[in-house]
């Protein structure tokens, strides 16, 4: 995708920006002119993405933040405003999936961790930024990373799937409640994308073949495949789009 200046003078917070889809999105937003605040738990990975963005001529700030911890999320928003004076775009990308197995065997610790990081954190970050945007009478764009697993059964990943279904519900309700303030809220629903997150699934030859056999485009997704739709939803090119989900799965859900 050719870089444009469509996001110039905008600031974005991207959670889970140290690797995988979040790192690709952060670099994509920066290439289109946005200042990007990079968040995840470990500063080391974020610093590498920060350096790559500055080397490419962009502007980024690395800030360690655990998306399951409300006080750290408040600190992230404060740091973004302190450095850039505004936040116009939020990409809720960080997520966790600590349990692979049937729902009957999942324990409450796994449930709590998955819901805290995948749902409560994105809710807290979106609300904190939306409140400021409303106070400042400024428009904004919130983009939530859902998953094709949120719209159907997700055997062996059931709790993760439930958090992604809830993300889709949150996206629609926030879109309706915040539309009057010109804050748009949309979701991206990737299929299987090659990252550390999905490495276990892809290493299983049977699962990989099942996915590839059903994927119209005949290949697995790469983090870069998610970037264009995110830049589009962040920019004014999507000014009349809210409450929607863009599925990025190479045609998997079409068959």
Active site residues: 160
Query: Which stretch in 89-97, 98-106, 135-143, 208-216 sits in contact with ligand NAP by CB under 6 A?
Result: 89-97
CB 215, CB 191: distance < 8 Å: yes
Query: Which stretch in 11-19, 80-88, 125-133, 228-236 sits in contact with ligand NAP by CB under 6 A?
Result: 11-19
CB 124, CB 156: distance < 8 Å: no
- The rounded distance, in Å, linking the Cα atoms of 252 and 190 is 10
CB 32, CB 110: distance < 8 Å: no
Which residues, 12 to 41, sit near ligand NAP by CB under 6 A? 15-22, 40-41
Tell which one of 42, 131, 209, 219 touches ligand NAP (CB under 6 A).
42
- The rounded distance, in Å, linking the Cα atoms of 114 and 254 is 28
Q: How far is the CB of 119 from ligand NAP (least distance, A)?
A: 11
Tell me: does residue 171 bind ligand NAP (CB under 6 A).
no
Q: How far is the CB of 21 from ligand NAP (least distance, A)?
A: 3
Tell me: does residue 197 bind ligand NAP (CB under 6 A).
yes
Q: How far is the CB of 54 from ligand NAP (least distance, A)?
A: 18
Tell which one of 94, 166, 170, 185 touches ligand NAP (CB under 6 A).
94
CB 41, CB 19: distance < 8 Å: no
- The rounded distance, in Å, linking the Cα atoms of 213 and 220 is 10
Tell me: does residue 186 bind ligand NAP (CB under 6 A).
no
Tell me: does residue 89 bind ligand NAP (CB under 6 A).
no
Q: Calculate the alpha carbon distances from 8 to 3, 68, 124, 136 in Å.
A: 11, 30, 26, 19
Tell me: does residue 198 bind ligand NAP (CB under 6 A).
yes
Nearest to 76 by CA among 126, 13, 18: 13
CA angle 211, 213, 215 (to 5 degrees): 65
- The rounded distance, in Å, linking the Cα atoms of 216 and 251 is 5
Tell which one of 82, 196, 205, 240 touches ligand NAP (CB under 6 A).
196
Spacing of C-alpha 160 from chain mean position: 14
Tell which one of 29, 145, 166, 175 touches ligand NAP (CB under 6 A).
145
Tell me: does residue 123 bind ligand NAP (CB under 6 A).
no
Interface residues toward ligand NAP, by CB under 6 A: 15-22, 40-42, 45, 65-68, 93-96, 117, 145, 147, 190, 192-193, 195-198
């Amino acid at each position: 995708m050719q870089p444009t200046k469509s996001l110039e003078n905008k600031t974005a917070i991207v959670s889970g920006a140290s690797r995988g889809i979040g790192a690709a999105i952060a670099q994509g937003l920066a290439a289109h002119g946005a200042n990007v605040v990079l968040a995840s738990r470990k500063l080391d990975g974020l610093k590498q993405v920060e350096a790559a963005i500055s080397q490419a001529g962009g502007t980024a700030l690395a800030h360690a933040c655990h998306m399951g911890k409300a006080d750290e999320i408040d600190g992230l928003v404060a740091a973004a405003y302190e450095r850039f004076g505004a936040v116009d775009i939020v990409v809720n990308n960080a997520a966790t999936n600590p349990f692979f197995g049937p729902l009957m065997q999942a324990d409450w610790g796994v449930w709590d961790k998955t819901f805290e990081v995948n749902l409560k954190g994105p809710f807290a970050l979106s609300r904190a930024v939306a409140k400021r945007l409303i106070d400042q009478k400024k428009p904004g764009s919130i983009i939530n990373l859902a998953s094709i697993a949120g719209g159907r059964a997700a055997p062996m990943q059931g709790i993760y799937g439930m958090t992604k279904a809830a993300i889709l519900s949150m996206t629609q309700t926030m879109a309706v409640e915040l539309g009057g303030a010109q804050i748009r809220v949309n979701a991206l629903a990737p299929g299987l994308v090659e990252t550390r997150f999905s490495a276990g699934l892809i290493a299983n030859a049977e699962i990989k073949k099942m996915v590839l056999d059903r994927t119209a485009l005949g290949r697995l997704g790469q983090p870069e495949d998610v970037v264009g739709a995110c830049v589009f939803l962040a920019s004014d090119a999507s000014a009349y789009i809210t409450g929607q989900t863009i599925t990025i799965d190479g045609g998997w859900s079409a068959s």
